[in-house]
Structure 1
């Protein structure tokens, strides 16, 4: 019998920036959380009504630095802005191997990135980088 629960190794993350795949060799952590905007009405003649409307997704992933791919991407994003005023966007694909043997694919669109930690360099230690993202929408494909 297989594992009845999702475990971290069941997930793969792929980043496309302006349609080009960025080779992030060793993604060691991925997290995403839905953002919502609270809507509330407090009518004088009735009980309060409250609900949420979707407001995108925020998350982060951690990469054990195996190449300059992430650093080069951030340099290219900055250069595109300072040289031409261009602000690019990306897409993140999350593939989850389900316990029943199927694969769920989630697409995060309209992605903006922030390299929140470019890594700490010290002797005999793996350099781990952290990238935060905002995505306009998450779709199942």
Structure 2
């Protein structure tokens, strides 16, 4: 629900589809994504410089308040599959945004590789914050 014409954190939902099914993040508190690029500067003979910017995938992260063992279970299975010599397949992320005008925008990140950056710190009277990051081959507009 946008506020006064501005997008806010509540306007987005994400869905992570792994090769083994949906990876729910019920305690999601933060999502970020940014394009990766490769920059090439070309110096022309006349002394002017032209800049080329090549798309080079996407990178992003999730911050989650741990509410269940789904994240730990997924990454434990990934690690076990790796040591068992199995092919680890990529995932996809669907990002759905409620725009300020009431319309919906949807993007899909393809070729997603997930990484558990922090399984969390356990302490008395504190929640457990987990952090995941990802790289993706592309982001395409779905709707």
Taking structure 2 as the reference length, what is the TM-score of the superposition?
A: 0.92
Q: Does 1:118 align with 2:106?
A: no
Taking structure 1 as the reference length, what is the TM-score of the superposition?
A: 0.93
Query: Following superposition of structure 1 onto structure 2, how do residues 7-26 of structure 1 map, counting pairs within 5 Å?
Result: 7-18=8-19, 20-26=21-27
Cα RMSD, aligned residues only: 1.5
1:52-93 Cα offsets, whole Å, 9 max, x none, are 010001110111111101111111111111102412210011
Q: CA deviation at 1:44?
A: 2.4
Separation (CA, whole Å) in 1 of partners of 2:109 and 2:140? 6
Separation (CA, whole Å) in 2 of partners of 1:25 and 1:32? 19
Q: CA deviation at 1:19?
A: 5.7
Query: Following superposition of structure 1 onto structure 2, how do residues 1-141 of structure 1 map, counting pairs within 5 Å?
Result: 3-18=4-19, 20-141=21-142
Q: Structure 1's 79 and 19: CA in aligned 2 closer, same or farther, altered over 3 A?
A: closer
CA contact (8 A) 1:93 1:108 kept: yes
Separation (CA, whole Å) in 1 of partners of 2:15 and 2:43? 44
Separation (CA, whole Å) in 2 of partners of 1:44 and 1:19? 54
Q: CA deviation at 1:46?
A: 4.8
Kindly report structure 1 stretches of 4+ aligned residues shifted beyond 3 Å. none
Separation (CA, whole Å) in 1 of partners of 2:35 and 2:125? 37
Separation (CA, whole Å) in 2 of partners of 1:2 and 1:114? 33
Unpaired runs of 5+ in structure 2?
none
